[in-house]
Structure 1
Amino acid sequence: MGTKRLREDDGEGKKPSLIRNKERRSEAFAQLKREKKKAKKLRIKARDAREKECIELGEAPPPRKTPRTIENTREPDETIVRPDDDELLADIATDEFAEHFNRDKSPKLLITTCRKCSKRTFKLILELQSVIPNTEYYKRNKRSLKQLVKDATEQDFTAIVVIHENRREPDGMVIVNLPEGPTAHFRLSNLVLRKEIKARESDSPSFSINHGRPTSHLPELILNNFTTSLGHRIGRWMFASLFYQDPNFRGRRVVTFHNQRDYIFFRHHRYVFEPKETKQKGEQKKKTAVIARLQECGPRFTLKLLSLQHGTFDTKHGEYEWVHKPDMDTSRRRFFL
């Protein structure tokens, strides 16, 4: 019986996916990728030349196309509000956090853990105490969360932060606003403690890029991209109520809650302004510009909202304002915060 010879396809004029030979298919894919990259460079060069020509002629350059992303193509949401919305301003004046934003009550936090706390969770609590001012740690022991809420209310605490863990790794956070609520439950992930923040290369010997050590100054607070009514309630009304309203700018500390695709990224930095000499093409003299450098102080983690409950913590008779369900994740362009 004679051997059957397979006809090799040279692949000329065909799509790479139709080429049967693996090596030739890989070569065709690589060649196609190089051609696309070269064409993109030519388009960018032509665009820059047109913009430069328009500027020299004193005309307005043609507008650039906005790239399509998941954020700018999100599904329409009726709950998106503006900062100057009359209904939003009325809610702010009468909600549970009005006393805090009117500076009638100073924040006082109680932070605790689940009943069995690992060493890593305790390190996270110590770092959170250095980030959030006026925070006290209480050992949980065998007390239930309802009893803890009652005791904290009697001692004039304004909020309770509970860190949960699974397999010796923190995986949840519960924030209970006192004395009337609400209660928010988050999933905690991607935790990086202060000493775990790796160093990166820097061209400035005067400013270290290793993890920083926070001072006792009151930090600034940045809440980014909380656009819906639920986002305002979580961002401005839940997170902002944990911090003082009068930051000490001399300390150069910044705490950031950045919402992107319903994931809340927590970062803690300190910044410094320093001069840097720059030299452009065709210029002999160097120009001195003031730039800002950031140094991360830690910790670093990500939060995902699971539920928002009216009042204080109550799993049996509590009324939930919002609960995350699996069928909510059917669309990648649907966001709630």
Structure 2
Amino acid sequence: MGKRERENEDEGPSRGGSAPTIGQQTSQIANKIVRGAKYAKLKHEKHKSKKKQRAMRQKELERAEALGIEPPPKPVPKTIENTREKDETTVQPDDAEVAADEDQDEFAEHFTRVRPPNVLITTSYKVTGLMYRFISELLETLPCATYYKRQGYPLKKIVEYAKNREFTDLMVFNEDRKQINGLLLVHLPDGPTAQFRLSNLVLSTDIKGHARATTHRPELVLNNFDTRLGHRVGRMFASLFHQDPTFRGRRVVTFHNQRDFVFFRHHRYIFEERQKKEKGQKEKVKVVKARLQEIGPRFTLKLQSLQKGTFDSKGGEFEWIHKPQEQETSRRKFQL
């Protein structure tokens, strides 16, 4: 980022009545050379002040450790996540109304273990070797999934075929110009249907030091699906996995929502016994350390639409559609 770009970034209005930024303090100076010199001086003073504050905090921390008292609390930096604008559809953990609705929604049979997951995976009409490698790794991630070649069938016929064969979910991956760029997820037999944009795909073979998947059922972790829409999307993802994972396999699949981007990761736990020297002890002791080893694949999903019922491109009723001009009015407001 260049000097002029930093000036433009700092010249925005101060948020929440906070102190004016350096760009705001110097924006009224007409002379470019004088303005630049003033900006550099204020920037240098701010840097010195921050350095001094860090040194003071470090001294207080060392003093607290020496006296055996509780150290001062660490300052919490402001981020887009912790300054998120409150959404009226955010679900509280003890919301009885939401719990009652979810007990009767399309995924209720899955969570009551009436219908175990049985997933059908297919693709767009023309695919490359990249898609076949991706599907192969996905089948290892989802032990309850089955792959069928598209063979020119329209999606509506595939949906009917999957219903008749008692599949619980349909996943259709799209490829365009040798790039896998989309996912259509249909919950059967009554929907809903979610369409996602898929990006940043990395196969297991491209992950350094990756592990190999086993046939055990993985654990599932869903993070930050806080709104009513987020709950619905999270339950769609959860319906793809068994409710009783095989913990012996030490596999875990994560759907992490951050700023309405859903990050998919696949890891396994590794427990290692190491020798470690504790404080106040002369000899090393054995400790067990846990870490994660990525299996793959990894990719990112962005919700584009959520449709009631199964796939219907013409007469379908949509619960939610991504409209950037209307919904993305603030960087700190999210839908999921």
- TM above 0.5, yes or no, is yes
CA distance in 1, matches of 2:143, 2:248: 16
Instruction: Give a deviation string over 1:118-176, Cα, whole Å, max 9, x none.
Output: 11111111111110122111111121111100011000000000000110110000100
Q: Give the one of 168, 171, 175 matched to 2:185.
A: 175
Structure 2 letter corresponding to 1:123: R
Q: Give the one of 81, 84, 105 matched to 1:95.
A: 105
Structure 2: 5+ residue runs without aligned partners?
Answer: 1-25
| Structure 2 counterpart of 1:4 | none
Query: Does structure 1 residue 335 correspond to structure 2 residue 334?
Result: yes
Q: Offset at 1:214?
A: 0.2
Query: Does structure 1 residue 118 correspond to structure 2 residue 131?
Result: no
CA distance in 1, matches of 2:46, 2:128: 52
| Structure 1 counterpart of 2:210 | 211
Deviates more, 1:240-249 or 1:60-69: 60-69
CA distance in 2, matches of 1:127, 1:64: 42
Structure 2 letter corresponding to 1:82: Q
| Structure 1 counterpart of 2:222 | 223
Question: Percentage identity across aligned positions?
Answer: 54
CA distance in 1, matches of 2:333, 2:173: 28
Aligned to 2:232, the other structure's residue is in SS state: helix
How many pairs are equivalent?
306
Distance 1:286 1:38, change over 3 A: farther
Aligned to 2:239, the other structure's residue is in SS state: helix
| Structure 2 counterpart of 1:314 | 312
Structure 1 letter corresponding to 2:199: S
Query: Does structure 1 residue 286 correspond to structure 2 residue 296?
Result: no
Instruction: Give a deviation string over 1:306-337, Cα, whole Å, max 9, x none.
Output: 00000000011110000001212231111000
Q: Give the one of 181, 184, 199 matched to 2:194.
A: 184
Structure 1 letter corresponding to 2:292: L
Q: Give the one of 255, 258, 271 matched to 1:257.
A: 255
| Structure 2 counterpart of 1:108 | 118
Distance 1:111 1:292, change over 3 A: same
CA distance in 2, matches of 1:157, 1:49: 62
CA distance in 1, matches of 2:41, 2:291: 39
| Structure 1 counterpart of 2:143 | 133
CA distance in 1, matches of 2:43, 2:92: 46
Q: Offset at 1:113?
A: 0.3
Aligned to 1:152, the other structure's residue is in SS state: helix
| Structure 1 counterpart of 2:232 | 233
| Structure 2 counterpart of 1:10 | none
| Structure 2 counterpart of 1:206 | none
Distance 1:114 1:78, change over 3 A: same
Q: Offset at 1:276?
A: 2.7
CA distance in 2, matches of 1:306, 1:64: 39
Structure 2 letter corresponding to 1:194: S
Q: Offset at 1:288?
A: 3.7
Structure 2 letter corresponding to 1:258: H
Structure 1: 5+ residue runs without aligned partners?
Answer: 1-14, 200-209
Structure 2 letter corresponding to 1:114: S
Query: Does structure 1 residue 79 correspond to structure 2 residue 77?
Result: no
Q: Offset at 1:231?
A: 0.5
CA distance in 1, matches of 2:275, 2:40: 44
Structure 1 letter corresponding to 2:236: M
Q: Offset at 1:195?
A: 0.5
Q: Offset at 1:266?
A: 0.3
CA distance in 1, matches of 2:273, 2:333: 43
Q: Offset at 1:57?
A: 5.9
Structure 1 letter corresponding to 2:111: F
The TM-score normalised by the length of structure 2 is: 0.83
CA distance in 2, matches of 1:84, 1:94: 17
CA distance in 2, matches of 1:56, 1:120: 58
Structure 2 letter corresponding to 1:233: R
Q: Offset at 1:242?
A: 0.2
Aligned to 1:242, the other structure's residue is in SS state: coil
CA distance in 1, matches of 2:214, 2:137: 12
| Structure 1 counterpart of 2:272 | 274
CA distance in 2, matches of 1:215, 1:39: 53
CA distance in 1, matches of 2:201, 2:67: 53
CA distance in 1, matches of 2:274, 2:228: 42
Structure 2 letter corresponding to 1:234: V
- Computed over aligned residues only, the root mean square deviation of the Cα atoms, in angstroms, reads 2.6
Aligned to 1:307, the other structure's residue is in SS state: strand
Instruction: Give a deviation string over 1:229-257, Cα, whole Å, max 9, x none.
Output: 1101101x100000000001110101000
CA distance in 1, matches of 2:140, 2:69: 54
